[in-house]
Chains A and B, each alone.
Chain A
């Protein structure tokens, strides 16, 4: 039996956040309560709309202002799948907060002037997403605004007038009353920050937010059946779509150091489990530009602000995009249970559909991702029906190690091709010793993918389509790595026209 040494800790039995200029203290709420339900049902604040209730449409977008590296950071969130307890330590800003005394916020004024609403249902969410961009501290470009709005579906107005309103307003110099009060609001947030463990409820039903790794380890060892929540971008759907009655929730968002980024002894980069996808994007993009592009298309701004590296891995989804991308890089997952820490190759973590190599009471602590050496080439491709904010039909990532023009070995990670994120062992084997100069010799590896995978037919793609796409993606990667001048990217095709 492993024993966990517990130390006396201070516990706060309420969550606290800023809202409408005051501090809200909640010491009794359902652990599965969402921010959207709290706003609409408890506060009777109906400006934030419920569209899809699964974090896709963005009609419920709210903004959380939080202190990041000492400065106020404004990020958009889908209130429908954000748990109420996750507001702890943040300022919640909703659509009702923007206008003051009958005077519209500059963004709202521009949206009206540009005729940027028609049915108007998505409009509050769009204004809030743009409000986050307005406070980003940088002038917004057309492309940046398209990314900003990828998680806000408008199906009648059209985005042209919306983006025109945003381009006119989001110039990098916020001049609204939020900018004017930034100092006092930052001070109020700093005053809320403490290092106490949060525990609201009782042993039967609780929302807990431990403040340290030791507290988390001890709490999870005591309640191994509790649901660990990082960003809630999937757990939120268990609540809104599967109506699961989650009674014990441990939120990881307050655990100090769990979002840390560190170099490892062997020069890999260790990404803490609760590092958000938004914050991980530049780090992964620095390893390879395809990872940067993958992260740009990962969910939406709202999903990336909430979702985490560890959550995407621990979830074990066969269509999570991070796992295949990181498996190809040769990443390791670091697990902790009580005081015991172990690491294993990421691909070995995924055992079967919905089953990971994770003991009761054990949690994902970090993912260690090697960088690329000079003789290693990498490509990652995501194929989905919609370019932005969509689930992959096929995700394929490959690392090819070469000696001159000869392939020494390869690591191929695939998503959407099996019940788990999986390596393509046969295709990898078929690439060993192959020359980059002989395109015909790659075909055996592309064909071998059919021995590695027997994909499903579902609403996203047929099995045959998936198989063809995977083989073509591998060939595309090899074509690019070989240095062939054949256009393989949409941008290259446009440039050639």
Chain B
């Protein structure tokens, strides 16, 4: 459908071919933009370390116990 008049076209293309400042630029230059690293961790945040198995399909045996021991070690920090 063609635009019904020139005014609509002007609105529709108002941002085309024009330089626009970055939405967050004013925050960037002040160090005020919040990145994930800047958000405080809630108390008790669980940290997960991923250990990779060398078998794609297998049965978990004694290794699980080691994992639990490690977990205890971490939580004692």
Contacts and interface: CB of A to CB of B under 8 A. Distances in A.
Nearest to A125: B31
Contact of B29 (A40, A49, A112, A118): A112
Contacts of A94: 31
A108 B21 contact: no
Interface stretch (B2-10, B32-40, B58-66): B32-40
A46 B30 contact: no
Nearest to B24: A120
Given A112-B21, A115-B19, A115-B22, A120 B37 contact: no
A98 B29 CA distance: 9
B25 A111 contact: yes
Q: Interface size class for chain B? A: 10 to 19
B27 interface: yes
Nearest to B29: A108
Interface in A35-50: 40, 44, 46-50
A270 interface: no
A120 B22 CA distance: 10
Given A112-B26, A120-B24, 8 more contacts: A49-B37, A95-B30, A108-B29, A111-B25, A112-B22, A116-B25, A117-B28, A120-B22
A124 B25 contact: no
A96 B31 contact: yes
A437 interface: no
Given A47-B31, A47-B32, A124-B31, A115 B38 contact: no
Nearest to B28: A120
A104 interface: yes
A430 to B, nearest CB: 54
Nearest to A94: B31
Given A46-B38, A115-B22, A120 B27 contact: yes
A61 B26 CA distance: 19
A99 interface: yes
27 contacts: A44-B40, A46-B38, A47-B30, A47-B31, A49-B31, A49-B37, A50-B37, A95-B30, A96-B30, A96-B31, A99-B30, A104-B29, A108-B30, A111-B28, A112-B26, A112-B29, A113-B21, A115-B25, A116-B25, A117-B22, A117-B25, A117-B28, A117-B29, A120-B24, A120-B33, A123-B31, A127-B29
Nearest to A48: B31
B28 A123 contact: yes
A104 B26 contact: yes
Interface of A: 40, 44, 46-50, 94-96, 98-99, 104, 107-108, 111-113, 115-118, 120-121, 123-124, 127
Given A49-B37, A115-B25, A117-B25, A98 B19 contact: no
Contacts of B40: 44
A98 B37 CA distance: 22
A289 B45 CA distance: 56
A46 B41 CA distance: 13
Given A111-B25, A113-B21, A117-B25, A104 B30 contact: yes
Contacts of A118: 22
A118 B28 CA distance: 9
Given A117-B29, A127-B29, A46 B24 contact: no
Nearest to B33: A120
Nearest to B34: A46
A116 B29 CA distance: 9
B36 to A, nearest CB: 11
Contacts of B22: 112, 115, 117-118, 120
Interface string B36-76: 01101000000000000000000000000000000000000
A40 B25 CA distance: 21
A399 to B, nearest CB: 47
A115 B30 contact: no
B29 A121 contact: no
Contacts of A112: 21-22, 25-26, 29
A96 B31 CA distance: 7
A118 B19 CA distance: 14
B23 to A, nearest CB: 10
A113 B29 CA distance: 11
A123 B29 contact: yes
Contacts of B19: 115
Contacts of A117: 22, 24-25, 28-29
Contacts of B24: 117, 120
B15 to A, nearest CB: 14
A349 to B, nearest CB: 41
A276 B37 CA distance: 33
Nearest to A121: B35
A40 B34 CA distance: 13
Contacts of A96: 30-32
Nearest to B20: A115
Contacts of A46: 31, 34, 37-38
Contacts of A40: 38
Nearest to A95: B31
